[in-house]
Amino acid sequence: MIRFNATIALGAFQLDAAFEGDAGVVALFGRSGAGKSVTIALIAGLLRPDRGTIVVDGRVLVDTEKSIFVPKHMRRIGVVYQDARLFPHLTVRQNLMFGRWFAGKAEQEVDFGAVVETLGIGHLLSRRPGRLSGGERQRVAIGRALLSSPRLLLMDEPLAALDDARKREVLSLIERLRDAFKVPIVYVSHAVDEVARLASRVVVLDGGRVVAIGPVDEVFGPSKVHAGEDRFGRSSVLTGRIAGMRGRYGLTEIEHPSGAIWLAGPAGPVGREVHIVVRATDVTLAITRPQDISVRTILAGTVGGIETDNGPLAAVTVDLKGHGHLVAMATRMAVDELALTRGTPVFALIKTVALDERSMSPSGAGAGGARDNGKRG
């Protein structure tokens, strides 16, 4: 899908990054100023690198050694920003047709009706952008980008300006686009829940450099990914498979090699793989398995690392049995009293009420998941 290896200096900031991605969604993750938007601009052709190569779908867009630089209007790349950037004087239909016109007749591979139906914007076609909600504007912006029949879709913080309800709405939409149209996406965000829900591969940028790259559940967890963030910004992502739903209590069981993860409400059909975002402040550690407590999720693992500074807190990375990592925030006093060191066996406890079921994909929610397996919850 994409091969990126480029360097550019912009004043005091320098980007020097390299990564590759296949089909699906590749997420560029990092704090503000990490270099995410600069990377997007280089791929789109809005900036010219000082050195490097950029290849999309087998086509060389940039090769500085060979003096290749394909102009932005010839790259067949769609871009969606956090502000929809629709033409205010045009109707929704006209904005969408602008994307169609931009593709050229010979390259109009995406069907107009299919896009309108998938986005659910048929009733908006005669309206102008000023009469649309924020979520509706983003739907139209995505449609316009799709109708350019892009080889790649770039999404630069597309949910940043939306409230929580509209974010979930557009997230569901992006999932449908990913699955229905098979257009590769490079998705820029600093929100773990967005990345966990959409991406198959994550590239973590910090200070213009790639500091981690890999599957979602492998990248999120080790403390180095979030180094320097406050404790409320630390999160991990676990990957599990839906085992079934305890219908009487409205709980869904997620299978993980380290133990069962319990989620409030339906999460989808049995057997489906899901990502669960866990905040580090919601994880408690124990060196023996607790008994007779209200916490449902108890996961076995070993201490993989401990990050401390001069303050009272420590970030403890737990390598879970089977696969995955969790970061737990604890006091340095607790770390000392529990005698935690690298390799110490521990149990990670997570309250079900701390896990946000709304961050899970709603597609197929509840289907096939109504069995009660009789296990103790």
Look at residue 5 in the predicted model and tell me its pLDDT. Answer: 97
CATH topology assigned to domain 232-359: OB fold (Dihydrolipoamide Acetyltransferase, E2P) (2.40.50)
**Residue 368's pLDDT is what?**
35
What's the pLDDT at 57?
87
Show the tokens assigned to 289: 């398995």
151-180: pLDDT as tens digits: 889 999 888 878 887 788 788 888 877 777
Residues pairing with 204 in the sheet: 29, 212
Burial per residue of 9-31, b for 16 or more beta-carbon CB atoms within 10 angstroms, e otherwise: eeeeeebbbebebeeebbbbbbe
Q: How many CB atoms lie within 10 A of CB 88?
A: 9
% of the chain beyond a pLDDT of 70: 88
Average pLDDT over residues 254-263: 96
- Please report which helix (H) or strand (E) contains residue 207, including its range: none
Is the per-residue pLDDT at 330 higher than 50? Answer: yes
Q: Which residue has the higher pLDDT, 25 or 374?
A: 25
Reported pTM: 0.78
pLDDT of 234 higher than 60: yes
In the chain, where the domains are located? 2-214, 232-359
Distance of alpha carbon 316 from alpha carbon 307, whole angstroms: 6
CATH of region 2-214, choose from 3.90.1170.50, 3.90.420.10, 3.40.640.10, 3.40.50.300: 3.40.50.300
- pLDDT (average), residues 281-285: 95
The 10s digit of each residue's pLDDT in 89-127 is 999 999 998 877 766 554 556 788 888 888 889 999 999
Give 72's DSSP letter: G
Q: What pLDDT, on the 0 to 100 scale, is given for residue 377?
A: 40
- Mean pLDDT, to the nearest integer, of 24-37? 90
What local confidence, expressed as pLDDT, does residue 350 receive? 97
